[in-house]
Structure 1
Amino acid sequence: MSLPPPAVSRRRLHVRRIEVEGFLRDDGLYELDASLRDVKDVDYPIASGLRPAGEPVHLMRLRIVLDAGFTILDAYAISERVPYPGGCDTIGPAYRRLVGLNLVRGFRKTVGEMFRDVEGCTHISELLLSLPTAAIQTFATFRRDNEDVGEKPFQLDRCHALETTSETVRRYYPKWYRGREPRD
């Protein structure tokens, strides 16, 4: 299913692209490389000068190294294109504080606390929020998502479709199906 056609003609002004790539390293660790790119379709005047159409206003990149338990072992952030050179591009080293965090246990909340307001870059912090599910997809490459490993699959009860009382779980994860609770 696609989005319906626009109801009124329109002209595109801005594109934001977020991309995350997952890698298995030769030493058995994992890496996620992520980027956020903002591009305007029109010339864009900003305090540091005119940004021509098609030239990135923002280009931020992250690389994190993970172990099999989703613990961050190394982190690197860089801002290649920024609206305020000499300001925006100096925050990268602050993101080394990610080392030791777990991507799937309270990560988004912790990132929000660690890098709120002037403690971080809005765009890098936003990019970080896409990493947990990208890591899960990277790790899922190596096993079937309904493989019985003895533990409740991570994705259950983390979205509406995979609530353990749902028909979807009954069909694809019968061991973990809890049935519908009677309603009063």
Structure 2
Amino acid sequence: MPLSTPVSRANIHTRRVTCQGFRRSDGLWDIEGHITDVKSYAFANDHRGPIEPGDPIHDMWIRLTVDDGFTVRAVEAVTDKSPYAVCPAITPNFQRLVGLRIRAGWTQKVKELLGGVEGCTHLVELLGPVATTAFQTIYPILARDRNKDADAGAGKPPAQVVHKRPPLLLNTCHAFRSDGEVTRKQWPEHYTGGD
């Protein structure tokens, strides 16, 4: 169900965040994020001069290349448009993410490495949806591939994967809580609820 009908209003600002996940031919994964901020009115900017309606004040990109274990192998950050000439100079700091693993504590670690004057607020914010996109991209494909491998040639429907380690998604949200119904069905060996 969509949001309720609002009162009469005028659009002032639009932020768009787009994230995409790609499987690479070399076995790694590219997770890309793009963020734009656009005003519905013209305004002056000391760095760029007049900015017309629809011309982004922020236009920024980030690509994380990660492996199957969600470890960041490479980073590319780009600032195409910003309100200040100095903004693009901070993108090399995002190389600090190389070697970091996307898992519980990711957001806190990103803030430690790139918070405040060490990073760009908008690119740091973009890393949250990028991390979620990594899970949405990689986890289902790896699970599908494990099922195919386990049942290859058996002529049976895919068997449930038994996880020796807790699944990466366990306890990351309400649906994946260890004592919940989803965990009981998907990962019974990690279910902590009652009968």
TM above 0.5: yes
SS across alignment from 1:160: coil
Q: Residue in 2 aligned with 1:169?
A: 183
Residue 116 (structure 1) aligns with: 115
Is structure 2 residue 85 aligned with structure 1 residue 71?
A: no
**Alignment partner, residue 152 of structure 2:** none
User: Contact 1:115 / 1:125 at 8 angstroms: preserved in 2?
Assistant: yes
CA distance in 2, matches of 1:31, 1:81: 23
**Residue identity (%):** 37
Cα distance, 1:42–1:25 mapped onto 2, change above 3 Å: same
- Matched with 2:54 is 54
How many pairs does the alignment contain?
178
Q: Say if 1:44 and 1:51, in contact at 8 Å, map to a contact too.
A: yes
1:19 Cα shift?
1.1
Q: Are residue 148 (structure 1) and residue 148 (structure 2) matched? A: no
Aligned pair in 2 of structure 1 residues 168, 29: CA closer, same or farther (>3 Å)?
closer
- Per the TM alignment, residue 150 of structure 1 is displaced from its structure 2 partner at its CA by 3.3
1:26 matched to which residue of 2? Answer: 25
Deviation at 1:169, TM superposition (A): 3.1
Decide whether aligned partners of structure 1 residues 173 and 149 sit closer, same or farther in structure 2, where only a CA change above 3 A counts: closer
Determine the C-alpha separation between the residues in 1 that align with 2:38 and 2:161: 42
User: TM-score scaled by structure 2?
Assistant: 0.83
Structure 1 stretch displaced more, 161-170 or 49-58: 161-170
The normalised TM-score by structure 1 is 0.87
Shift of 1:42: 1.3
Q: Please give the alpha-carbon distance, in whole angstroms, between the structure 2 residues aligned to 1:98 and 1:140.
A: 20
Gaps of 5+ in 2: 148-159
Residue deviations 1:73-94, cap 9 Å, x none? 1111110010112x11111111
1:104 partner amino acid: R
Moved more, 55-64 or 149-158: 149-158
SS in 1 for 2:57: strand
Deviation at 1:171, TM superposition (A): 4.4
Deviation larger for 38-47 or 121-130: 38-47
Q: How far apart, in 2, do the equivalents of 1:118 and 1:166 lie? A: 41
CA shift, 1:154, in A, is: 1.8
